[in-house]
Amino acid sequence: MARHLSLKVLCLAALCIAAATGRSDAASGPRATPASSAPAASDRAIADSQARLAKNPADPSAEKALAAGFLQKVREVADPAYYTLADKVLAKLGGVKSKDPEVLLLEGTLLLARHQFSAALRVGKLAAAALPSNPSAQGILVDAYNELGRFDESLVATQRMADQRPGLAALSRVSYAREIRGDSNGAIDAMQQAVIAGQGRGENVAYVQTLLGDLLLKRGDVAEASTTYAAATRSFPGLAGALAGEASVLYARGRPAEAAARMAEVVARQPLLQYVIAEGDYYAAAKMAAPSRDAYALVDAIIALSRANGVDIDLEVALYRADHNLTPALIASTRRALTARPGLTGHDSLAWVLHRLGQDREAKTEIAQVIAMGDRDPIYRFHAAAIALGAGDRALASAQLDVLVQGNTRVAGIRPAELAALATALGRTVPPPAP
């Protein structure tokens, strides 16, 4: 295990160095950690674009294709250095000041991926002005508005996007709009429609099948979620989200050691922060302290790598630190992060940090904004219950626990012992795992 760990850390360190030196030579981009078994369509796209640029260095369409290829590559290998490469290519085409609407669409998606939502909104508006009937431009607005907490505006843009082209991209966002407002059944309906609309193009449909699996799992339909993740793996073998879903099914079924082993495989393919944290959490729940610590040890490397490539994960880091590395300074830094991303994630993260540092009154105000939307996410509801109890409001705590136990409670981010203690304090019990 230790050797495996150091290999992982070295690989990530190498990527850090690559990013820090800002290598812009597209031909020798950073190598990914152990290659995914997924087909390398993006590699082909990148190679084709490079060949065209070799013949004709000033070909803007090849440059756009190259940037698009890099953005595609990230989702296969989770290497944020490709964001930096895409950024450099798009900068040559004028970046956010470009008059070319396709460049703006690419810039918008890059900014969203890096969690720079205010900038993404600005670019999205320019793209939408240039392409008033284009659903992708609306999609940039939807995502940016959501993350900036401007939910009424995101709803308008979502409806417009769905009016223009009710296909996979729009329907998955319709699903999200329903989900955050607490309509789980409607969210599942819409995501099922997205899956039907996306058929025939493996990665698209596999990704939304994974999202569908996540929704089903949240609602407590563990068996259906499992079938859906299996379908996603068939659509696009090796898709990390589908494999992570299978791990989360194991965890929901009360098999944390197996879940952790599965998640370790996922991390080997795509070391995303949420997967690494889940691996650590699953090992911890299985009472395997050493592997759990090893998993968490990767977190700092990922944080460094993300920041080196301009990806803002400050809120996710705050949530992690609240549970693993609490200091009073965390309140101020989380408030700062919140100003850039005043959405549901932000208020939840700040609420939890405040709660961990004993400031439940303030925490209650923060979490109230999240709960008011209606989102039935188990993390939000667990946080709300714990905060309400800490603030002395047993009725509210009990009401939040009611919502929580209607769905799946066994998720990364909720420590089983803490949930059990919360339930006991309210005179309740936690339901047993699903079969």
Partner 1 sequence: MAKNSRVVAGIAVTALLGGLASIGPAFASSHREAPLISQDPTADNTDVYAFVDPLDPTKLNIIANYIGLEDPAAGPNFVRFGDDVLYEIHINNTGDATDQVTYQIRFATTVANPNTFLYNTGPIGSLTSPNLNVRQTYSVRKITNSRGKGGEFESIQREIDPQHAAGRSTDEILATNVPVAPANIGPRSTPNYENALGKAAVVTLANGDKVFAGPRKDAFFVDLGSIFDLLGLRPLNGAHIIPLPAAPGVNSLGGKNVHSIALQIPIKSVTLNGNNPTVVDDAASVIGVYASASRQQVRVLGNGGPQNSGRWVQVSRLGLPLVNEVLIPLGQKDAWNASDPSNDGAFTQFILNPEPAGLIKALYAPAVMAVPANPRTSDILPILQGAGAGLTPAHYLPPADLLRVNLAVGSNPAPNRLGILAGDSQGFPNGRRLNDDVVDILVRVLAGGTPFTPATNVFPNNALTDGVDTSEIQPVSYFPYQAPPIAGYDQKSGAP
Task: Tell me which residues in 283-312 interact with partner 1 (CB under 8 A).
Answer: 302, 306, 311
> Interface mask (CB under 8 A) for partner 1, residues 91-120, using x and -?
----------xx--xx--xx-xxxx-----
DSSP states along 191-226: HHHHHHHTTT-HHHHHHHHHHHHHHHHHHT-HHHHH
* Binding flag, residue 162, partner 1 (CB under 8 A): yes
The sign one gets for the Cα dihedral 30, 1, 214, 416 is negative
How many residues bind partner 1, per CB under 8 A? 101
CA-closest candidate to residue 382, choices 347, 419, 354: 419
Footprint (CB under 8 A) of partner 1, residues 305-344? 306, 311, 313, 316, 343-344
Alpha-carbon torsion, ordered 140, 143, 148, 154, to 10 deg: 90
Q: Is 173 in the site for partner 1 (CB under 8 A)?
A: yes
Q: Which helix (H) or strand (E) holds 364?
A: helix 360-373
Among 32, 53, 148, 170, binds partner 1 (CB under 8 A): 170
Q: Smaller CB distance to partner 1: residue 376 or 391?
A: 376
Distance from the Cα of residue 261 to its chain's centroid = 21
Based on the shown chain and the rule CB under 8 A, indicate whether residue 51 belongs to the binding site for partner 1: no
Contact window for partner 1 (CB under 8 A) among 9-17, 32-40, 160-168, 387-395 = 160-168
Using CA atoms in the order 47, 208, 143, 175, what is the torsion angle rounded to 10 degrees? 160
List the structure tokens of 119.
């900038």
In the bound complex, what is the minimum distance in angstroms from residue 286's beta carbon to partner 1?
22
Within 10 angstroms of residue 415's Cβ, the number of other Cβ atoms is: 14
Residue with smaller CB distance to partner 1, 224 or 393: 224
Chain positions 180 to 209 lying near partner 1, rule: CB under 8 A, are 181, 183, 186, 189-190, 193-194, 196-205, 207-208
Structure tokens belonging to residue 180: 């955050």
Q: Looking at residues 380 to 409 of the shown chain, list those that interact with partner 1 (rule: CB under 8 A).
A: none
Question: 């803007």: which residue's tokens?
Answer: 60
Query: Interaction with partner 1 in 210-269: which residues (CB under 8 A)?
Result: 211, 231, 234-235, 240-241
Nearer to partner 1, 344 or 387 (CB): 344
